[in-house]
Amino acid sequence: MITLRNLTLRRSAKVLLDNVSVTLNPGEKVGLVGRNGAGKSTLFGLINGSLHEDSGDFSMPSQWRLSQVAQDMPDTDEPATDFVLGGDTRLMDLRAALTRAEERHDHDLDSADIGMQIAHLHSDLADAGEHDAMPRAQSLILGLGFKTAELGQPVNSFSGGWRMRLQLARALMSPSDLLLLDEPTNHLDLDALVWLEAWLKRYDGTLIVISHDREFLDAVTDVTLHIERQQLTRYGGNYSAFETLRAQQLELQQSAFSKQKERIAHLQKFIDRFKAKASKAKQAQSRVKALERMEKIAPVLADADFTFEFKEPANLPNPMLSIRDGQFGYVVDGQPKLIVGGVNRSVMAGQRIGILGANGQGKSTLVKTIAREIPALGGTITEGKGLNIGYFAQQELDVLRPQDTPLEHMTRLARELGPNSGESGREQDLRNFLGTFNFTGDMVKQTVGTMSGGEKARLVLAMMVWQRPNLLLLDEPTNHLDLATREALSMALNEFEGTVMLVSHDRALLRAVCDEFWLVGRGQIAPFDGDLDDYQRYLLDEAKRLRELARLDADAGAPAPAKPQAAAARAAAAEGRSPLTPQEQRKQDAQQRQQLSARTRPLKRELEQAERKMAELQAEKSALEARLASAAPPAELAELGRRLKAAGDQIAQLEERWLALSSDVEAIETARQPS
């Protein structure tokens, strides 16, 4: 049993918990929730003994074994499996003891004592699960999304996100009575997330998990601990149950009511406006549904002390950019490593594109290339005039300087952007601006290194907004953000006039923001015709297809199947597009212009015809309307009505055709624009 009695907890001058009392029972699965900076991670510090209460009592059974995910990035060349096995400290200690005993035994042949000791150690090892430790470690690693071939690879050969997964596996490997997980889903994709949910449900110790992912919390927890205004409150039930209860409580609280009403009205207006705009497309419809959910939890959102908006972009180039024959990837040891190839796509003003694809398929590679963080391996990206990219990536948090304060970060940014940002860089203005992102009072002077994860993410968001971008490239922007800030982000994105390209495993955000999807997979990028539910079905089918493929190969005794992505990449690389000389380039461009006009000519002709016909029909329609309005004889009315409807229908049809034709022409022209 864990008990906090009349406990007060502080971080420098800030009181995080003020005289709280709470009890947690053995075996409970507890979700610890609260706004960014409320003190959740700090509470973990109290439980694991790295911090101490300022007053009151904290107690926990002394014999409880505690397991938690180490926060540092592991940097060792130990093979992945050994690293994870190392998490089972009991097993490791016993193994080491056995080795020592055996060495002594070898030197000291007639010692019966050591013989006994060795026998004991063997039986202890059996108790500790020595016989299946290896497969247990491996199933953890595979469950978290690694491939069989990667089990033996050195830890430091993996990227940051994957190393943190190994760190998580190591914590799960460790036998424990109490497991502390601080936002474990941040580095996971959908598949691994679902696996972790199932694993945690089977875990029989006491679990306390910090998360801002409602679907995850609902699946795993049965008790919710909420930190708010220095109070810690225990609710029986999962996150949704807690949310409903809270919405009811908040509605009862008269004091907050007028402020809330304003916010609810704003939300309502926003949702109505969006609904009116949303087309019949399936994707847009699922967005409407997501917004309707926001309506339901409006009181919780309205209670949030934070909303923000993107500034109106200075200009909107259209297209924002177009990619021609893009080859994206990395250079490893001087060799190009292609991840996605043959990309021919344009990004138009105002599009909301969700970028889907399993881990490692190249979503971030695409985004990084567009953001100019890494060069394309081949092809061209033509940027619209005045393109101003706002790029947000997980690793962006590392870009913050831990020793500096939010104010110093903003001052530097304002200086770098110079006068054309249209903003004053005066300290008071910067403070005001930071205030709109909830950095108030002393917080503008707190060093970034001591801020909570969500506070850092919010600072990065603020810095992005300041840059006044017209194209937002967001790669997992919601990690660390609390629910209310996520909703604030999704509202801000919806009202943003520029273009959004979003990579996220946050299903709620994708639903609320995107009305079209690109699918990155098998070495290519293609539009995905469907909504998120279709995508989850696609994922299942794809997993099945790969399993079958693997089975077929295994049956045939063939070596492990090459990843389809790698195969496609190799194929594209084999085509080997070598760089052209300027003359060749000009010649190619001229040829392309000719091909282009050959392809668009018939379309343009049809466009003109459609325009003429529409004008005729419009004129006819006006005449009919005028006739109807001018007290025509009743006998004529029915006929007039029929003709009016027919004209209207025909116009609608032509408009659709006209739209389709224009976008075809546009697509062909932008895809082929020479750089």
Note the residues at the interface with Mg ion (CB under 5 A): 41, 452-453
180 binds ligand ATP (CB under 6 A): no
Site for ligand ATP in 458-497 (CB under 6 A): 480, 482
Q: Can you tell me the distance from the alpha carbon of 8 to that of 43, in angstroms, rounded to the nearest whole number?
A: 11
Which of 366, 481 has the CB closer to Mg ion?
481
Q: Can you tell me the distance from the alpha carbon of 177 to that of 28, in angstroms, rounded to the nearest whole number?
A: 11
SS3 assignment, position 221: coil
Which of 180, 493 has the CB closer to Mg ion?
180
Which of 45, 342 has the CB closer to Mg ion?
45
Specify the length of the chain in residues. 675
450: partner contacted, choices Mg ion, ligand ATP, none (Cβ within 5-8 A by kind) = ligand ATP
Which of 484, 617 has the CB closer to ligand ATP?
484
12 binds ligand ATP (CB under 6 A): yes
> Which residue in 42, 351, 359, 364 binds ligand ATP (CB under 6 A)?
42
- Give the DSSP letter string of 487-556: HHHHHHHHH--SEEEEE-S-HHHHHHH-SEEEEEETTEEEEE-S-HHHHHHHHHHHHHHHHHHHHHHHHT
Which of 42, 307 has the CB closer to ligand ATP?
42
114: partner contacted, choices ligand ATP, Mg ion, none (Cβ within 5-8 A by kind) = none
The helix or strand, by DSSP H or E, that contains position 347, with its residue range, turns out to be: strand 335-347
User: With contacts defined by CB under 6 A, how many residues of the chain interact with ligand ATP?
Assistant: 21
- Give the DSSP letter string of 459-486: HHHHHHHHT--SEEEEESTTTT--HHHH
Site for ligand ATP in 408-447 (CB under 6 A): 446
Which of 38, 381 has the CB closer to ligand ATP?
38
Nearest in space to 499 (alpha carbons), one of 257, 319, 239, 304: 319
SS3 assignment, position 642: helix
Quick one: how far is CA 636 from the chain centroid?
Answer: 62
Q: Are 216 and 185 in contact, with CB atoms under 8 Å apart? A: yes
H runs (alpha helix) in 74-111: 80-85, 89-107
167 binds ligand ATP (CB under 6 A): no
> Which residue in 25, 76, 450, 622 binds ligand ATP (CB under 6 A)?
450
299: partner contacted, choices ligand ATP, Mg ion, none (Cβ within 5-8 A by kind) = none
Q: Tokens 């529409």 identify what position?
A: 614
The helix or strand, by DSSP H or E, that contains position 72, with its residue range, turns out to be: none
> Which residue in 2, 7, 9, 16 binds ligand ATP (CB under 6 A)?
16
Q: Shortest gap between Cβ of 41 and ligand ATP (angstroms)?
A: 3
Q: Shortest gap between Cβ of 246 and Mg ion (angstroms)?
A: 20
Q: Shortest gap between Cβ of 457 and ligand ATP (angstroms)?
A: 8
592: partner contacted, choices Mg ion, ligand ATP, none (Cβ within 5-8 A by kind) = none
90 binds ligand ATP (CB under 6 A): no
Q: Tokens 């953001």 identify what position?
A: 371
Q: How many CA atoms are closer than 13 Å to the CA of 268, on its beta-carbon side? A: 8
> Which residue in 17, 20, 28, 40 binds ligand ATP (CB under 6 A)?
40
14: partner contacted, choices Mg ion, ligand ATP, none (Cβ within 5-8 A by kind) = ligand ATP
Which of 42, 359 has the CB closer to ligand ATP?
42
469: partner contacted, choices Mg ion, ligand ATP, none (Cβ within 5-8 A by kind) = none
Q: Shortest gap between Cβ of 301 and ligand ATP (angstroms)?
A: 17
39 binds ligand ATP (CB under 6 A): yes
Nearest in space to 356 (alpha carbons), one of 186, 219, 506: 506
- Give the DSSP letter string of 33-58: EESTTSSHHHHHHHHTTSS--SEEEE
Q: Can you tell me the distance from the alpha carbon of 291 to that of 205, in angstroms, rounded to the nearest whole number?
A: 38
Which of 39, 329 has the CB closer to ligand ATP?
39
455: partner contacted, choices Mg ion, ligand ATP, none (Cβ within 5-8 A by kind) = ligand ATP
Q: Which residues pair with 380 in a beta bridge?
A: 324
Q: Shortest gap between Cβ of 211 and ligand ATP (angstroms)?
A: 10
455 binds ligand ATP (CB under 6 A): yes
189: partner contacted, choices ligand ATP, Mg ion, none (Cβ within 5-8 A by kind) = none
Q: Can you tell me the distance from the alpha carbon of 569 to that of 524, in angstroms, rounded to the nearest whole number?
A: 9
The helix or strand, by DSSP H or E, that contains position 381, with its residue range, turns out to be: strand 378-383
Nearest in space to 472 (alpha carbons), one of 502, 452, 431: 502
214 binds ligand ATP (CB under 6 A): no
Q: How many CA atoms are closer than 13 Å to the CA of 84, on its beta-carbon side? A: 29
> Which residue in 138, 186, 452, 478 binds ligand ATP (CB under 6 A)?
452
Which of 41, 344 has the CB closer to ligand ATP?
41
Q: Shortest gap between Cβ of 654 and Mg ion (angstroms)?
A: 57
Q: Position 52: which residue type?
A: H
322: partner contacted, choices ligand ATP, Mg ion, none (Cβ within 5-8 A by kind) = none
Q: Can you tell me the distance from the alpha carbon of 213 to that of 588, in angstroms, rounded to the nearest whole number?
A: 51
Interacting residues toward ligand ATP by CB under 6 A:
11-12, 14, 16, 34, 36-42, 446, 450-455, 480, 482
